[in-house]
């Protein structure tokens, strides 16, 4: 048995951060003001090649703000993936709208062919609005998730967006550092192509501030509105005048003090993730019944999470048996999220031809992938996968 605990995905922090934290304490700027906030925003904007970025409390808060500033609200509908973490969908309900669930393709991302088919067959396009035949409600937008850092087919998505006058939000919470190498969007980062993009810095993300998020857009007026709503919609900061309901969605200076250091290390983290992914791939190519899902070759994906498909007939045990075996041997692994359209709050919501997502939900496992994962630890995981196969 492996006696060393190998976690799934943990922060890769340096004690160099302490000088930043020390400054926040010494100056007293520990809350939602301070130089590190603007420094971090500027560094993110520069890294993903946009003019401006607005920090916020979390990726979820960023999605909530994105929906509001795009004018999506009560009575509207939004097309979302079912294969994603539920936090990508819940903000739709925050604004009083309802989600419509879409299947995935073999990248685990939203199936853009089924998306187009749904709009053409199940909707009417009248006076610049997509009207759902089933509900007679207006579909205002799409939230698309770059799952596990694997970029979505944004060329196809933007064609659909423009053809049907839809708003497009990119949930790039898992995809900081992923960008396109070919095609119309060569050189563009995930999160910078739709109307608004959102990043997350939760503890398991590729860089972390403990929590926190970031909103980006090429439309200045949207970012101005995001910034305004995130600070309690304060019209006059001196006299505390508020003309509408706002939100306490600001990032703290302490969080940002982590981020300004972490973003400088991002490319090194991605380099390690790609190297370890390739170690896994070389080994798994020789283990019948296990398939490591690829990342798109026309992109530079950040390789945030590694996904293995388990074929019981060829490997000798199913996904759940392998999951238990690895965790029993101190190798932290997890299944895919439960599909969102199957979750209790969304059982009555519409879904469209969801089949492939159900296959991945049943057969996919995520294995250790931290950016500080050593080659020795990767070899331990591989050895356990090989040992399980030999038992069959």
What value does the CA radius of gyration of the chain take, rounded to a whole number of Å? 22
Mean pLDDT of 130-147: 98
pLDDT tops 80 at residue 306: yes
pLDDT, mean of residues 345-351: 98
**By the 8 A CB rule, do 131 and 118 touch?**
no
Query: For residue 3, what pLDDT is reported?
Result: 80
- Give the pLDDT band of residue 253 (cuts 50, 70, 90): very high
pLDDT given at position 392: 64
> Which residues of the chain does CATH 3.40.640.10 include?
17-265
Q: What percent of the chain has pLDDT over 70?
A: 99
Pairing state of beta strands 138-145 and 167-171? parallel
Mean pLDDT, residues 106-116: 98
Per-residue pLDDT tens digits for 54-103: 999 999 999 999 999 999 999 999 999 999 999 999 999 999 999 999 99
Instruction: Give the model's confidence band at 196: pLDDT under 50 very low, under 70 low, under 90 confident, else very high.
Output: very high
pLDDT level of residue 135 (50, 70, 90 thresholds): very high
- Residue 56's H or E segment, with its range, is strand 53-56
Q: Is the pLDDT of residue 297 over 70?
A: yes
Q: Indicate where the chain has its CATH 3.90.1150.10 domain(s).
A: 266-390
pLDDT value at residue 363: 98
When mean pLDDT is compared across 2-6, 231-235, 254-258, the lowest value belongs to 2-6
pLDDT of residue 220: 96
Question: What is the C-alpha to C-alpha distance for residues 296 and 306, in angstroms, rounded to an integer?
Answer: 13
Contacts of 79 (CB under 8 A, 6+ apart): 99, 100, 102, 115, 118, 139, 141, 142, 143
Query: What's the mean per-residue pLDDT of the chain?
Result: 97
* Burial of residue 326, with CB atoms counted within 10 A of its CB: 0-12 exposed, 13-18 middle, 19 or more buried: buried
Is the domain spanning 266-390 CATH 3.90.1150.10? The answer is yes
- Residue 389 in this model has a pLDDT that exceeds 80: no
Q: Which residues partner with 131 through β-bridges?
A: 124, 138
Q: Check whether 2 has a pLDDT greater than 80.
A: no
Q: In the beta sheet, which residues pair with residue 292? A: 308
| pLDDT greater than 80 at residue 154 | yes
What is the per-residue pLDDT for 117?
98
Closest CA to 72 of 94, 43, 57, 55: 94
Q: Are 153 and 145 spatial neighbours (Cβ–Cβ below 8 Å)?
A: no
Main-chain phi, psi angles of 321, to 5 degrees: -65, -40
What burial class does residue 250 get, using C-beta atoms within 10 Å of its C-beta: 0-12 exposed, 13-18 middle, 19+ buried? Answer: buried
Q: What is d(CA 352, CA 364) in angstroms, rounded to the nearest whole number?
A: 22
Residue 344 scores a pLDDT above 90: yes
Taking 80 as the threshold, does the pLDDT of residue 334 lie above it?
yes
Q: What is the mean pLDDT of residues 187-200?
A: 98
Mean pLDDT in residue range 17-37: 95
User: Is pLDDT larger for residue 3 or for residue 284?
Assistant: 284
Q: Angle at CA 16, nearest 5°, toward 15 and 19?
A: 110
Structure confidence at residue 271 (pLDDT)? 98
Helix (H), strand (E) at residue 364: strand 364-367
What does the alpha-carbon distance between residue 60 and residue 87 come to, in Å, rounded to a whole number? 6
Express each pLDDT in 210-227 by its tens digit: 999 999 999 999 999 999
SS3 assignment, position 379: helix
Q: Which CATH class is domain 17-265?
A: alpha beta
* pLDDT score for 1: 67
């Amino acid at each position: 048995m492996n006696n060393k605990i190998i976690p799934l995905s943990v922060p890769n922090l340096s004690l160099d951060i302490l000088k930043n934290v020390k400054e926040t304490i010494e100056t007293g700027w520990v809350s939602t003001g301070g130089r590190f906030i603007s420094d971090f925003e500027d560094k993110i904007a520069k890294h993903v090649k946009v003019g401006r970025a607005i920090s916020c409390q979390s990726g979820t808060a960023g999605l909530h703000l994105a929906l509001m500033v795009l004018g999506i609200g009560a009575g509207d509908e939004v097309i979302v993936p079912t294969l994603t973490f539920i936090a990508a969908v819940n903000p739709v309900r925050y604004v009083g709208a309802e989600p419509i669930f879409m299947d995935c393709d073999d990248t685990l991302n939203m199936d853009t062919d089924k998306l187009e088919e749904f709009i053409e067959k199940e909707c009417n396009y009248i006076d610049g609005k997509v009207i759902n035949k089933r509900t007679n409600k207006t579909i205002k937008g799409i939230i698309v998730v770059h799952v596990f850092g694997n970029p979505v087919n944004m060329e196809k998505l933007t064609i659909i967006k423009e053809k049907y006058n839809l708003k497009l939000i990119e949930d790039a919470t898992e995809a900081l550092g992923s960008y396109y190498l070919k095609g119309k969007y060569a050189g563009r980062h995930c999160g910078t192509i739709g109307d608004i993009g959102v990043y997350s810095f939760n503890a398991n993300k590729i860089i972390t501030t403990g929590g926190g998020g970031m909103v980006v857009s090429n439309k200045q007026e949207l970012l101005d509105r995001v910034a305004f709503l995130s600070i309690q919609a304060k019209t006059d900061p001196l006299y505390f005048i508020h003309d509408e309901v706002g939100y306490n969605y600001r990032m703290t200076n302490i969080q940002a003090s982590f981020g300004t250091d972490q973003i400088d290390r991002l490319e090194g983290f991605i380099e390690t993730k790609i190297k370890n992914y390739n170690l896994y791939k070389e080994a798994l190519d020789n283990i019948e019944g296990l398939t490591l899902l690829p990342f798109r070759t026309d992109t530079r994906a950040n390789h945030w999470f590694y996904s293995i498909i388990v074929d019981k007939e060829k490997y000798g045990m199913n996904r759940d048996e392998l999951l238990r075996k690895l965790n029993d041997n101190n190798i932290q692994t997890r299944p895919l999220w439960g599909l969102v359209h199957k979750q209790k709050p969304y059982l009555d919501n519409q879904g469209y031809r969801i089949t492939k997502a159900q296959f991945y939900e049943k057969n996919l496992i995520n294995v250790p992938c931290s950016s500080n994962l050593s080659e020795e630890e990767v070899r331990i995981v591989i050895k356990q996968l090989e040992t399980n196969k030999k038992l069959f």
